[in-house]
Structure 1
Amino acid sequence: MKKRIPLLLIFFRLLLAPIIIVLAYYLKEESRGILVILIFLGLISDIFDGIIARKLKVSSVGLRRLDSQVDLVFWIAVMIACYILNAEILQENKVGLFLLLFMEFLCYAISFIRFSKETCTHAFLSKIWGLFLFSSFVSIIGFGYGGILLQLTIYWGIISQLDVILIILLLPKWQNDIPSSYHANLIRKGIPFKKSKLLNDE
């Protein structure tokens, strides 16, 4: 049972996605407090599923791929909740948000064209972007404020997506857990490097 903890954490985050949308839609203003708690729990589950999997030596490519796709579902659900509660904030930043969604689609499209698989880089810049997303969405849902934090999140998201696209283009074959485009270039050149045991699979 202990070895199933990482998988359970991933499915917990997947379960949170529809709950977050339903609460925002039906409870409106009254949902804000509980939504902030659920988003925090989702972030914690995302941080610890990989760490625990590596500690228990049950980390696998399949688990990492599932983790990536559930992350996407979770954050899209949170963004939908933000739109339900504060549509005006997202409307003010719609160009940047649409650009981010397009770049996310582009990452998947390029990965499928090159490798017939979805992207699963778990890159360092993307991990930081996850923290930006958390901060921005909590700010919107908890306090009704987007402001400079949301703009920084959009800018960082664009940079991290460009990094992922470069990783996909540089890799000679599909791999998961590539820290950055710099490391993808090392792989392309056949130069070995050591990954962080805390952040990535070996």
Structure 2
Amino acid sequence: MVKKIPIALIYARLFLGIWIILLSLFEVNHYSFWAITLLSIGLLTDVFDGIIARKLNISSEKLRRLDSSVDQIFFISVAIAAYIQCPDFFKANYTKLIILLSAELLIYVFSFIKFRKEIATHSIGAKIWTLFLFATLVEIMVHCKSTVLFELCLWIGLATRIEILAITFTLRKWTNDVPTIYHAVKLRQGKEIKRNELFNG
């Protein structure tokens, strides 16, 4: 039963995303408080599902791919909920958001073309970007605007998408949990890489 905790946390994040959309659609009282609470819980499930899986020695390719896909659905759900509440922010930043989304789509398309699988690099850069994305979404939920944080989120997001694309290009075969482009180069050379016990592997 304990070994089912990681997958339960992953699916919990999926339902949390749907829940946040419903809160936004129905314009519940104290929406920002509830949405930020659920977003925070979702972020924590993302942190601990992998850690627990590695501690239980049940981390697998299937689990890591599922984790990566649900992460995408979760943050897209939160973004949709934020758009419902604050459409003017998204309209004002339409071009920048399209560029960021296009970069995200590009790495998925390239991975499918090359490996017939979605990406699941779980790179260090992507984890850092997730924190900036979290902070930006919180600011939007509270104020319906974001300036400095949004710009940081945009440029860090683009930089990390470029690194993930480079990682995917460099790898000879599909591999999950590749911390950086440096590690991808080592894998291409047939060398072993060291992964952080808590955050990768």
Normalised by the shorter chain, which TM-score bucket?
over 0.9
1:178 equivalent to 2:172? Answer no
Q: Secondary structure at the match of 1:6?
A: helix
Unaligned runs of 5+ in 2: none
Question: TM-score scaled to structure 2, two decimals?
Answer: 0.96
Moved more, 177-186 or 35-44: 177-186
Alignment partners' CA distance in 2, 1:180 and 1:172: 15
> What's 1:103 paired with?
103
Question: TM-score scaled to structure 1, two decimals?
Answer: 0.96
Q: How does 1:44-193 map to 2 (within 5 A)?
A: 44-193=44-193
Partner amino acid, structure 1, of 2:129: W
| Offset of residue 81 of structure 1 | 1.1
Structure 1 runs of 4+ aligned residues shifted over 3 Å read none
Unaligned runs of 5+ in 1: none
Deviations 1:35-75 (A, max 9, x none): 01000000000000000111111111111000000000000
Alignment partners' CA distance in 2, 1:193 and 1:31: 44
Partner amino acid, structure 1, of 2:105: F
1:27 equivalent to 2:27? Answer yes
Partner amino acid, structure 2, of 1:67: D
Alignment partners' CA distance in 2, 1:157 and 1:77: 18
| Offset of residue 28 of structure 1 | 5.8
| Offset of residue 85 of structure 1 | 1.0
Deviations 1:157-196 (A, max 9, x none): 0001001100110000001000011211111122332111
Alignment partners' CA distance in 1, 2:181 and 2:94: 28
Partner amino acid, structure 1, of 2:8: L
The 1:9/1:35 distance shift into structure 2, 3 A limit, reads same
Q: Number of aligned pairs?
A: 201
Partner amino acid, structure 2, of 1:96: K
Partner amino acid, structure 2, of 1:163: E
Partner amino acid, structure 1, of 2:106: L
